[in-house]
């Protein structure tokens, strides 16, 4: 049975920087809501962001919508088969384009994910540390991919890395290519791939303000179209980002009210850790704001960091 390029594309975009266990339910939900690329192109971006909320790296969700629009408008709803054309779509890089071309169309493309990086680093005992070794790994993979049944080969390599050539405690005795593995012959295969020491993530601070009306609705607003978490919903917050701290006190509240300190929450982004000091106010008369009052925050396009802030604020009652 031929693989569905829409399913491959959706799963690979979701799996960028995210684990299979986390993605599984999201993948099923998206296919239920938008079973085809045409359905996704017809969807509202806000609905896609709402369904994506909690999965992180929200530019991926916006790029899903942009790519779906292009595939329907320019390709008649049929995914390009060539990796070069796939790379031209928003959010699709070398890996995802190669994966779609190989798995869906059996093109001999050098697909390289984290599992394959690990296998080839060990197989050839590549001494250059990641990410410097990526060009060599890609070249090695290109030489291995067969012209026939490329998709099966690529998926078999991924499975080999996920189940046998694992980061810790690899099952070298069960490995079908152990006789050729140079790292395995050293008796210390887990030394590879070699990685540079990670720099510690900076710590940032800010404040979040959870305003609750008499009927239990929570004040939300929309973030700007640029920068971190662009276009997502949020509770009012201060101007923090990966490089700068935001204000942390009541003086930064969006309007005058009886704001009460509720403690803090901590959240980790790709490039920094964030501590938000959370304040809550119970509002009798709703002030005029640029936001809206939501009585169903569970169905809003709220990133995890703001869900944490709301939970802290609601938990203070």
Mean pLDDT by 10 residues, the chain (317 residues): 86 88 93 97 94 89 96 95 94 93 93 95 97 96 95 95 96 96 96 93 97 94 88 94 95 94 95 97 87 91 94 81
Catalytic residue (choose from 12, 117, 234, 300) = 12
Cα-trace Rg, the chain: 23
Query: What residues make up the domain containing 62?
Result: 5-107
The CATH number of the domain holding residue 73 is 1.10.340.30
Q: Is residue 193 part of a domain?
A: no
Among 76, 107, 138, the domain-final residue is: 107
pLDDT the model gives residue 18: 80
Which residue, of 82, 107, 132, is where some domain finishes? 107
Counting the structural domains of the chain, the total is 2
| pLDDT value of residue 268 | 95
- β-bridge mates for residue 283, sequence order: 213
Number of H helices, E strands in the chain: 11, 6
Q: Which pTM does this prediction carry?
A: 0.81
Q: Are 72 and 41 in contact (CB under 8 A)?
A: yes
Q: 181 with 175: CB under 8 angstroms?
A: yes
Cβ-contact 95, 137 below 8 angstroms: no
CA distances from 185 to 158, 182, 193, 271, 274 (A): 22, 5, 15, 37, 44
CATH of the domain at 292: 3.90.79.10
Supply the pLDDT for residue 230.
Answer: 87
Flag whether 222 is in a domain.
yes
- Residue of 130, 288, 127, 305 lying closest to 205 (CA atoms): 305
- Domain presence at residue 39: yes
Q: Which of 74, 107, 140 is the last residue of a domain?
A: 107
**Residue 185: inside a domain:** no
The answer for 216, left when phi > 0, alpha when psi is -120 to 50, beta otherwise, is left
Decide if 133 is inside a domain: no
Domain contains 71 = yes
For the chain, give percent helix, strand, coil, nearest 5: 45, 15, 45
Tokens for 203, please give them.
């710590």
pLDDT at 1: 55
| Helix (H/G/I), strand (E/B), else coil: 113 | coil
* 12 is annotated as an active-site residue: yes
pLDDT at 29: 96
């Amino acid at each position: 049975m031929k693989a569905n390029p829409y399913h491959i594309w959706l799963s690979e975009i979701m799996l960028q920087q995210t684990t299979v266990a986390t993605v599984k339910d999201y993948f099923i939900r998206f296919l239920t809501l938008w079973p085809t690329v045409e359905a996704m192109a017809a969807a509202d971006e806000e609905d896609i962001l709402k369904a994506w909320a909690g999965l992180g790296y929200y530019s991926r969700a916006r790029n899903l919508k942009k790519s779906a629009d292009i595939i329907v408008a320019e390709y008649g709803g049929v995914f390009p088969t060539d990796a070069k054309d796939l790379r031209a779509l928003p959010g699709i890089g070398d890996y995802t384009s190669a994966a779609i071309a190989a798995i869906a169309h059996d093109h001999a493309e050098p697909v390289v994910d984290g599992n394959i990086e690990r296998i080839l680093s060990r197989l050839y005992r590549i001494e250059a540390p990641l990410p410097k070794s990526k060009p060599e790994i890609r070249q090695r993979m290109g030489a291995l991919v067969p012209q026939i049944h490329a998709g099966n080969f690529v998926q078999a390599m991924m499975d080999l890395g996920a189940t046998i050539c694992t980061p810790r405690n690899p099952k070298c005795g069960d490995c079908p290519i152990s006789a050729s593995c140079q790292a395995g012959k050293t008796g210390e295969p887990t030394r590879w791939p070699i990685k540079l020491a990670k720099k510690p993530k900076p710590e940032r601070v800010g404040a979040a303000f959870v305003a609750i009306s008499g009927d239990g609705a929570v004040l939300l607003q929309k973030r700007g179209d640029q920068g971190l978490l662009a276009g997502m919903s949020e509770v009012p917050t201060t101007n923090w980002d990966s490089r700068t701290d935001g204000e942390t006190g009541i003086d930064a509240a969006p309007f005058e009210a009886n704001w009460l300190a509720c403690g803090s929450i901590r959240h980790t982004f790709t490039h920094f850790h964030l501590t938000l000091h959370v304040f809550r106010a119970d509002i009798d008369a709703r002030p005029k704001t640029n936001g809206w009052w939501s009585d169903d925050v569970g169905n809003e396009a709220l990133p995890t960091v703001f869900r944490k802030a709301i939970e802290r604020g609601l938990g203070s009652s």
